[in-house]
Amino acid sequence: MANGAGRVDLDGRPIKPMTICMIGAGGFIGSHLCEKLLNETPHKVLALDVYNDKIKHLLEPDTVEWKDRIQFHRINIKHDSRLEGLVKMADLTINLAAICTPADYNTRPLDTIYSNFIDALPVVKYCSENNKRLIHFSTCEVYGKTIGSFLPKDHPLREDPSFYVLKEDVSPCIFGSIEKQRWSYACAKQLIERLVYAEGAENGLEFTIVRPFNWIGPRMDFIPGIDGPSEGVPRVLACFSNNLLRREPLKLVDGGESQRTFIYIKDAIEAVLLMIENPERANGHIFNVGNPNNEVTVRQLAEMMTEVYAKVSGEGAIESPTVDVSSKEFYGEGYDDSDKRIPDMTIINRQLGWNPKTSLWDLLESTLTYQHRTYAEAVKKATSKPVAS
């Protein structure tokens, strides 16, 4: 299949091989997207990133079947004159580069705003000036809080989907006050979306905007002290995985009451491939990519992960599997949160005929099996080292 013979788009037209400039190709999403493109399509990838650890297996000289179809360019897009040349060489640019860990939003708000808005500006500009198509990765955080969250706790309208389901073309973007620096990320992401949209309206830029709703799976983030800084705080899945691997209680911020929907990375990448290969259907659209069926509170997620990890590892759960911490203690001053994140799927269903398949239990089992295989030994070694007095 990798030679791409006989592949057609959703309208039955043959898919022409293309060159894709992928910025942030070495990250979690980028690594899965590179794998998919190399395994299942004839497209070429110009992979741009500062690190390539997560795509090393795709760059080995002995992976001959695609060695001329992926090139790694070690580039920091902040200040690299090669960027425009690489955008020009490609038919399509996909921008995945971002600081996207909530622990950074209120401790490193300047870096967060620069990385998500200022550093993305040249990418949009080069695509627009050179008539190149852009798929820009945004976030479900641009929705902020739901309308329902402002109603009294026991108000019946809180149960009405029109007060909490998030729609790309209708829902407002509602953020907290300026001193709640957690919204620095969402605000920067919203502004770059508005800029991309304006380039489309005024200068004819062909664009697609992707709003991921908690994509999870193997290679997500890092395990602190193993393949990332020991004081680092990754996102919830890797945070909980780290606790499970170390047999520590899972920390529930403010009681773990926030609700989230989780989608398996492989389902989400299917949607991205449909956007890449169906420009007529995807251009000019913003797409929610999530799984509304996989909704849980963070507390329920912790309970499920504890159960799944006990099954995967063969080790029983610890006596007190969770512990409550305040957001101030965990994230520092200025933290705030969105209450509920349920994506409306109407537009992506209509345009791309896409639906997610994997249940929460199955995706946790697959992800935690990977985490256990990859990290359990390293964590045991790290925790059994004698500490110098």
Domain containing residue 237: CATH number: 3.40.50.720
Pairing of strands 285-289, 250-253: unpaired
User: 3-state SS string over 202-242?
Assistant: HHCCCEEEEEECCEECCCCCCCECCCECCCCCCCHHHHHHH
Scanning the structure block, which residue is given the tokens 């190709």? 25
- The pairing of strands 215-216 and 207-212 is unpaired
CA end-to-end span of the chain: 58
Q: Residue 78 domain-assigned?
A: no
Q: Is residue 57 part of a domain?
A: no
Catalytic positions, written as ranges: 185
**CA distances (Å), 84 to each of 93, 127, 202, 314, in order?**
11, 9, 21, 51
Q: Are 73 and 48 in contact (CB under 8 A)?
A: yes
Q: Are 259 and 295 in contact (CB under 8 A)?
A: yes
Number of folded domains that form the chain? 1
Strand (E) or helix (H) holding 135 = strand 133-137
Give the whole-angstrom CA distance, residue 42 versus residue 148. Answer: 46
C-alpha 224/C-alpha 227 separation (Å) is 6
Of the two residues 363 and 158, the one the predictor is more confident about is 363
pLDDT greater than 50 at residue 282: yes
Give 331's contacts (C-beta < 8 A, 6+ positions apart).
102, 103, 106, 107, 182, 233, 253
pLDDT at 363: 95
Does 254 reside within a domain?
yes
Q: Count the helices and strands in the chain (H runs, E runs).
A: 14, 15
Report yes or no on whether pTM surpasses 0.85.
yes
By DSSP bridging, strand 19-23 and strand 92-95 are parallel
Q: Is residue 117 part of a domain?
A: yes
Residue 111 domain-assigned (yes or no) = yes
d(CA 243, CA 325): 14
Q: Is the sign of the CA dihedral 45, 49, 55, 57 positive or negative?
A: positive
Q: In which domain, by residue range, is 185 found? A: 98-376
Residue 69: pLDDT above 50? Answer: yes
Residue 354 in this model has a pLDDT that exceeds 80: yes
Asked if residue 9 is part of any domain, the answer here is no
240 with 323: CB under 8 angstroms? no
Give the pLDDT band of residue 224 (cuts 50, 70, 90).
confident
Average pLDDT, the chain: 89
User: What is d(CA 265, CA 298) in angstroms, rounded to the nearest whole number?
Assistant: 19
Q: What is the pLDDT of residue 274?
A: 98
pLDDT confidence bin for 335, thresholds 50/70/90: low
- Evaluate whether residue 338 is within a structural domain: yes
pLDDT band at 339; cut points 50, 70, 90: low
The pLDDT-based confidence of 389 (bands split at 50, 70, 90) is very low
Find tokens 């043959």 and name the residue: 14
Contact 376, 245 (CB under 8 A): yes
pLDDT above 70 as % of the chain: 91
Query: Is 305 domain-assigned?
Result: yes
